[in-house]
DNA sequence: GGTGAAACGCGCTATTC
DNA sequence: GAATAGCGCGTTTCACC
């Protein structure tokens, strides 16, 4: 498995991966031109990266504001231990929840949500408070929303060969 | 602008949007079949949604672990007011930063990061600490990583017609 | 703003190296 | 594991509504 990854993730593999993260709809033929491979070769590599679980999907990115979601917020939730798993299930069901991460530390979950209005946020917080104490921070702006993952720099701590 | 959105975001528009969020690579012809439109009609709608800023891009999703990033974490950063903007620029430059949100409340920034190891995390925290006090929570699991945005339910607070 | 037909270009597969 | 060639299909453009 790790061997398979190493074979796929050579210089060209990373190039393909970065290009697909920037624009998931680029034709294989164009990818091939950019990385110096034929279209079928690129298609084959991409298929193998999908099979290996390296590429997990292709998503259209949408503008939340344009879709009527006026604001996003970060909600931290501290659940008592026995409610924590249940809280996870509930969070996964709420359509406002964009991400929900179970974390170490004082909080149980860190959640990013999108809401249409302050009133909507209030109702959502009321729902979430059923599972513990929450702390909400409104997002004012975002310096980074979705980074393209590129090849990790080699480190002395992870020697090769 | 809002009028343009309303025209684009009818029942069919939302269907297309949801399908593209699930799989950005579906052919227009298949989209057309699913929503009951011809391929050129779908292509035209998608182009207009892109122009209107509703669709902001198409991204391949990758598996961070498969790419050598063993863990993710949520770092909250409290910067003194005068360093806050500078911190934002710095966060945007760090390749480990997946998202960085400026927020209200006691913290200045909430940041999600991906690192290869605990040592890597330590170095990153050292970098970030130059801009204020930080609090790091390791992500143990994620109940939701990327929700498909669907049509907001109509509310009494936003009357139509 | 949508349809249907035609031209073009892309993706898929088989074959070869 | 990649290149090349042929075929089927998707995309694009256009006239028409």
**Could you give the C-alpha distances from B125 to A29, A110, B57, B74, B95, in angstroms and in order?**
41, 19, 31, 11, 13
User: Across the interface, do A99 and B142 touch by the CB < 8 Å criterion?
Assistant: yes
CB contacts, 8 Å: B149 with chain A:
62, 64, 67, 69, 114
Taking the C1' atom of every nucleotide in all shown strands and the CA of A25, the nearest one is: C10
CB contacts, 8 Å: A146 with chain B:
59, 98-99
Looking at the complex, report in whole angstroms how far the Cα of residue A99 sits from the nearest Cα belonging to chain B.
Answer: 5
Q: Quick check: A131 and A79 in contact, CB under 8 A?
A: yes
pLDDT higher than threshold 80 for residue B86:
yes
| CA-to-C1' span, A65 to C2 (A) | 28
More confidently predicted of B36 and B4: B36
More confidently predicted of A155 and B56: B56
Instruction: Specify the pLDDT at position A133.
Output: 98
pLDDT tens for each residue of A22-43:
999 999 999 999 999 999 999 9
Nearest CB neighbour to B62, from listed A21, A99, A116: A21
Question: In the structure, how many helices (H) and strands (E) does chain A have?
Answer: 6, 5
Per-residue pLDDT of chain A (161 residues; tens, 9 = 90+): 566 677 788 889 999 999 999 999 999 999 999 999 999 999 999 999 999 999 999 999 999 999 999 999 999 999 999 999 999 999 999 999 999 999 999 999 999 999 999 999 999 999 999 999 999 999 999 999 999 999 988 665 444 43
* Encoded tokens for A8: 């796929």
Q: Quick check: A61 and B57 in contact, CB under 8 A?
A: yes
Strand D reaches within 7 A of the B40 CB: yes
CB contacts, 8 Å: B58 with chain A:
23-25, 58-61
């Amino acid at each position: 498995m790790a061997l398979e990854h190493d074979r796929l993730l050579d210089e060209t593999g990373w190039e393909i991966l970065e290009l697909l993260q920037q624009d998931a709809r680029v034709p294989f033929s164009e990818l091939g031109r950019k990385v110096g491979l034929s279209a079928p070769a690129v298609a084959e590599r991409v298929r193998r990266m999908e099979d290996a679980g390296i590429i997990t999907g292709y998503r259209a990115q949408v503008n939340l504001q344009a879709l009527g979601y006026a604001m996003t917020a970060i909600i931290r939730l501290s659940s008592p231990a026995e409610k924590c798993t249940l809280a996870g299930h509930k969070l996964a069901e709420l359509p406002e929840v964009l991400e929900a991460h179970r974390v170490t530390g004082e909080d149980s979950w860190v959640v990013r949500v999108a809401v249409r209005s302050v009133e909507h946020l209030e109702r959502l917080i009321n729902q979430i408070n059923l599972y513990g104490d929450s702390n909400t921070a409104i997002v004012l702006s975002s310096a980074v929303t979705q980074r393209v993952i590129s090849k990790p720099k080699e480190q002395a701590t992870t020697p090769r060969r």
